[in-house]
Amino acid sequence: MAHESTYQPGSGFERWLDARLPVVRVMHDQFMVFPTPRNLNYWWTFGGILTFMLIAQIATGIVLAMHYVPTPEHAFDSVETIMRDVNWGWFLRYSHAVGASMFFFAVYIHLFRGMYYGSYKAPREVLWIIGVLILLMMIATAFMGYSLVWGQMSFWAVTVITNLFSSLDAVIPGLGTTLVQWIWGGFSVGAPTLNRLYALHYLFPFVILGLVILHIWALHVPGNNNPTGIEVKSPKETVPFHPYYTIKDGFALVMFVILFAAVVFYAPNWLGHPDNYVPANPLQTPPHIVPEWYFLPFYAILRAIPNKLFGVIALLSSIAVLFFIPWLDTSKVRSTSYRPIYRWFFWAFVLTSIALGYLGSQPPEGWYLIFGRLLTAYYFAFFLLIMPVVGLIETPRRLPGSITEAVLGHAEESEATSPPVPPPPPPAQQRRPAEVL
């Protein structure tokens, strides 16, 4: 949302810097006085929470990398050394591990909020695509970080996931096996594999940081969406980002950090797997290989397909389909609040995603497998069938005329948006009787 700059340098140094590198002006215009819709709810605060979590993950990760030893012989022991011998090492390690879970928890809420309120629709398609790219990079980064523990579960998770590329042998004989050996750096998961995962795990967060900057840039061009899905029509429908939303986002961040700290201090291993406290053993496979909880819905989709190649295709498609949501949704209405039919399908999709996460943690057999296949079918049907069809046949509720009307109602809206009425002229002085005659 383009707006005229209101920054005024307050000193000679600021004027000198502003004429050469107007970074203070940019920060002032984009993060202080940026016009923001007045009706944003607390679901919008997760954008700021995600920025905080990314910075926390990078900060703790850099310190942990100073003490970690990326070799199969010392990786597991170096993690234990960090926990026991490094000053505040236990806090850094638990903050980083739990932080990954909290990061994904916040990003999934951010994703579902964007889907519910139609934040992917024009003119915000690029904003949405960059967001999905961030999610994809987060998944890759978290997978690589999970492998660095070099416990039983992380070692075999790396073995299973990287071995999925061997499914390409069904397309071109020998291609998949060659690709897997190239990723491993040998004929099995070993020292070269660990070194490569360590290097990429250190690099990718900075790539994510660059994408986040682009994401914020793409947001500030058209401006924020809002719960009504109606574009801003008047300056009276916006407020400056500071202090209104800095206070609101700050309060939500404090609540989130309290939850984060409660898990770190009281249940740091709650979301982990006990097998990861057993050193990696290439000769002993765990009875049930389970990835971290934030991968479980995609893992359930992978296992729901009996064919290995088609399972991999379904796994990749479950993420790739998110890129095309702006064009799959045919409705002209952004916010699901005004779409009575689609709303039921959306909440069914949310429950489906949660249920797939549960099924991904269970053995792929019996009813778990049957329900996994049914929910996988609904997952793809939601994007490829329900979104296009319901958008064409649905009759949405009447949209308010403006954001102000949605907040204040018709009477107040007309009063707030109408031009001020000039005061009546002063009453004429009473004329004297002589003047009347």
pLDDT tens-digit readout, 164-211: 999 999 999 999 999 999 999 999 999 999 999 999 999 999 999 999
β-partners of residue 238 are 37
pLDDT tens figures, 218-241:
999 999 999 999 999 888 899 999
Rounded distance between C-alpha atoms, residue 206 and residue 199, angstroms: 12
The whole-number pLDDT of residue 435 equals: 42
Q: Which residues contact 305 (CB under 8 A, 6 or more apart)?
A: 311, 314, 376
User: Which residue matches tokens 């940026």?
Assistant: 34
3-state secondary structure at position 64 = helix
Integer-rounded Cα Rg, in Å, for the chain is 27
Rounded distance between C-alpha atoms, residue 361 and residue 191, angstroms: 29
The whole-number pLDDT of residue 422 equals: 53
CA angle at 134 for the pair 96 and 122, rounded to the nearest 5°: 145
pLDDT band of 427, cuts 50, 70, 90: low
3-state secondary structure at position 183 = helix
Number of H helices, E strands in the chain: 19, 2
Q: Where are the domains of the chain?
A: 24-410
The whole-number pLDDT of residue 430 equals: 45
| Structural contact between residues 138 and 103, judged by C-beta atoms closer than 8 angstroms | yes
For 227-244, b/e burial (b = at least 16 CB within 10 A) is: bbbbbbeeeebbbebeee
CATH placement of domain 24-410: 1.20.810.10
The percent of residues in the chain predicted with pLDDT above 90, rounded, is 86
pLDDT band of 61, cuts 50, 70, 90: very high
Rounded distance between C-alpha atoms, residue 260 and residue 112, angstroms: 21
Per-residue pLDDT at 42 exceeds 90: yes
Long-range (24+ apart) CB contacts under 8 A made by 251-260 are 252/42, 252/45, 252/46, 252/48, 252/49, 253/45, 253/48, 253/49, 253/52, 256/49, 256/102, 256/106, 257/52, 259/102, 260/98, 260/99, 260/102
Other Cβ atoms within 10 Å of 52 Cβ, number = 16
Nearest partner of 27 among 42, 10, 47, 7, judged by Cα: 7
| Structural contact between residues 227 and 40, judged by C-beta atoms closer than 8 angstroms | yes
The whole-number pLDDT of residue 429 equals: 47
pLDDT band of 287, cuts 50, 70, 90: confident
Rounded distance between C-alpha atoms, residue 286 and residue 132, angstroms: 33
Rounded distance between C-alpha atoms, residue 26 and residue 17, angstroms: 12
Rounded distance between C-alpha atoms, residue 90 and residue 262, angstroms: 15
pLDDT tens figures, 299-327:
999 999 999 999 999 999 999 999 999 99
The whole-number pLDDT of residue 407 equals: 75
pLDDT band of 408, cuts 50, 70, 90: confident
pLDDT band of 433, cuts 50, 70, 90: very low
Average of per-residue pLDDT values in the chain: 92
pLDDT tens figures, 112-122:
999 999 999 99
Per-residue pLDDT at 6 exceeds 90: no
The whole-number pLDDT of residue 425 equals: 54
The model's pTM is 0.91
Least confident of 101-110, 138-147, 414-423: 414-423
The percent of residues in the chain predicted with pLDDT above 70, rounded, is 93
Rounded distance between C-alpha atoms, residue 167 and residue 185, angstroms: 18
Average pLDDT over residues 258-280: 94
Per-residue pLDDT at 2 exceeds 70: no
User: Taking the alpha carbons of 324, 326, 332, 333 in that order, is the dihedral positive or negative?
Assistant: positive
Rounded distance between C-alpha atoms, residue 320 and residue 8, angstroms: 45
3-state secondary structure at position 37 = strand
| Structural contact between residues 2 and 220, judged by C-beta atoms closer than 8 angstroms | no
Per-residue pLDDT at 432 exceeds 50: no
User: Taking the alpha carbons of 360, 362, 366, 367 in that order, is the dihedral positive or negative?
Assistant: negative
The whole-number pLDDT of residue 340 equals: 96
